[in-house]
C-alpha cells in the first residue's frame, strides 16, 4: 500500500500566533502518526516562521504558487529560489483560485511546473473542472487538457517529479465534496491516461483529491484505491480537524 499524503493549503489565512499554535499542535500529534506524509503550505510571508518551527521534523512545507522566473523585474512575485532558501520542498501550481483569476493559464502552469522541477521543488499540480463544465459532462476533457499542458512540456520524466491533485472547482470551499466514487473514478481515469505513457509512473505517481475534505469524509475518501491522500483547504484552519484528517491518512496507509 502506498503511503498517503495530506497537504494543508492554508490559502490567505493565519497570523504569527495562529500559525505557531497550528504548527506546534500538529507536531505534537504527527509524532504518533508515522505511516503518512504531511505538508503545510502557508502564505509566503510566513516561510521564515515555518522554517524555524518545522526544520528537523517530519512535516514538510511549501509555497502556494511561485513565479515562472528566477529573478527580475516582477513586482510582487516570489522566485522559486526564494522558496528554496526558506526550506520549501513543495509548491502548489495551477490552483483553480489562481487559474480563475487569470494568473495561471494551462501554459503558465506548465511553465511553472518546468521551472519548479528545474530548481528542485516538487510541484503539487492542481487540476479540476468548474461546475458548468461538470454539468456539461466535460470533466475528463478538462483534466486531460490541463494535465497534457504539463506532460507536453516536461514529458514523463518531468511529470514523475511532481504530484497531482484533482480539485473540482465546485467542491472547493462549498462543503460539497465530490463523492468518493466520483473522485475515485476521475483519479483512476487520470492514472489510466498516465499509464498509456508509462505504466510504472502511473502506479507510483501520487494523486490527491481536494475539495471540502473534512474529518468526517476523509476516511472514506482515503479508502479509495486511487486516492493517495488529500489537499485540504478550509479544514486545515482548524487544528483538531486537520489532525483528524492526518489520522485518517495514517490509518489508511
Ligand atoms: P477546501 O478544502 O476549503 O474545499 O479547499 C480545497 C483547496 O482548494 C485546497 O487546495
Q: What is the pTM of this model?
A: 0.97
Could you tell me which of 39, 14, 103 has the C-alpha nearest to residue 66? 103
C-alpha cell at position 6? 495530506
Q: How far apart are CA 252 and CA 205, in angstroms?
A: 17
Residue from 172, 174, 221 to probe ligand 1 pocket by mutation (most atoms less than 8 Å from CB): 172
Q: What is the pLDDT along the chain (253 residues), one digit of tens a residue?
A: 789 999 999 999 999 999 999 999 999 999 899 999 999 999 999 999 999 999 999 999 999 999 999 999 999 999 999 999 999 999 999 999 999 998 999 999 999 999 999 999 999 999 999 999 999 999 999 999 999 999 999 999 999 999 999 999 999 999 999 999 999 999 999 999 999 999 999 999 999 999 999 999 999 999 999 999 999 999 999 999 999 999 999 999 9
Reduced to 3 states (helix: H, G, I; strand: E, B; else coil), residue 230 is strand
DSSP structure class, residue 175: S
Fold designation for 4-252: TIM Barrel (3.20.20)
C-alpha cell at 240: 483538531
- What's the burial of 240, exposed, middle or buried (CB within 10 Å: 0-12/13-18/19+)? exposed
Cell numbers found for residue 31? 509524532
Among 10, 39, 210, the mutation site with the greatest number of ligand 1 atoms within 8 A of its Cβ is 210
User: Count of CB atoms within 10 A of residue 189's CB?
Assistant: 16
| CA dist list (Å): 229 to 67, 114, 208 | 26, 24, 5
**What confidence score (pLDDT) does residue 2 get?**
85
Check if 95 is active-site. yes
What are the φ and ψ backbone dihedral angles of 150, each rounded to 5 degrees? -85, -45
First to last CA, the chain: 6
Ligand 1, atom 5: closest residue by C-alpha:
233
Of residues 100, 152, 107, the one with CA closest to residue 128: 100
Distance 148 CA to ligand 1 centre (A): 23
In sequence order, what E strands does 74-228 have? 90-93, 122-127, 163-166, 207-210
48 SS3 class: helix
Amino acid at each position: 500500500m502506498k503511503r498517503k499524503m495530506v497537504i494543508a493549503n492554508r490559502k490567505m489565512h493565519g497570523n504569527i500566533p495562529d500559525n505557531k499554535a497550528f504548527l506546534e499542535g500538529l507536531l505534537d500529534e504527527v509524532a504518533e502518526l508515522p505511516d503518512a506524509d504531511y505538508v503545510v503550505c502557508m502564505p509566503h510571508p510566513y516561510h521564515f516562521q515555518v522554517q524555524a518551527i518545522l526544520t528537523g521534523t517530519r512535516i514538510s512545507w511549501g509555497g502556494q504558487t511561485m513565479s515562472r522566473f528566477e529573478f527580475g523585474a516582477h513586482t510582487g512575485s516570489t522566485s522559486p529560489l526564494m522558496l528554496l532558501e526558506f526550506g520549501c520542498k513543495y509548491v502548489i501550481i495551477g490552483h483553480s483560485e489562481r487559474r480563475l483569476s487569470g494568473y495561471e493559464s494551462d501554459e503558465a502552469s506548465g511553465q511553472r511546473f518546468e521551472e519548479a522541477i528545474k530548481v528542485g521543488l516538487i510541484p503539487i499540480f492542481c487540476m479540476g473542472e468548474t461546475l458548468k463544465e461538470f454539468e456539461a459532462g466535460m470533466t475528463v476533457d478538462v483534466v486531460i487538457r490541463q494535465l497534457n499542458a504539463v506532460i507536453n512540456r516536461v514529458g514523463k520524466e518531468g511529470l514523475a517529479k511532481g504530484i497531482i491533485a484533482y480539485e473540482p472547482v465546485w467542491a472547493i470551499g462549498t462543503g460539497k465534496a465530490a463523492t468518493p466514487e466520483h473522485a475515485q473514478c476521475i483519479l483512476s481515469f487520470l492514472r489510466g491516461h498516465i499509464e498509456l505513457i508509462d505504466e510504472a509512473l502511473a502506479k507510483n505517481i501520487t494523486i490527491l483529491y481536494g475539495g471540502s475534505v473534512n474529518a468526517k469524509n476523509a476516511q472514506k475518501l482515503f479508502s479509495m484505491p486511487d486516492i493517495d491522500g488529500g489537499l485540504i483547504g478550509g479544514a486545515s484552519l482548524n487544528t483538531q480537524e486537520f489532525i483528524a484528517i492526518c489520522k485518517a491518512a495514517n490509518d489508511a496507509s
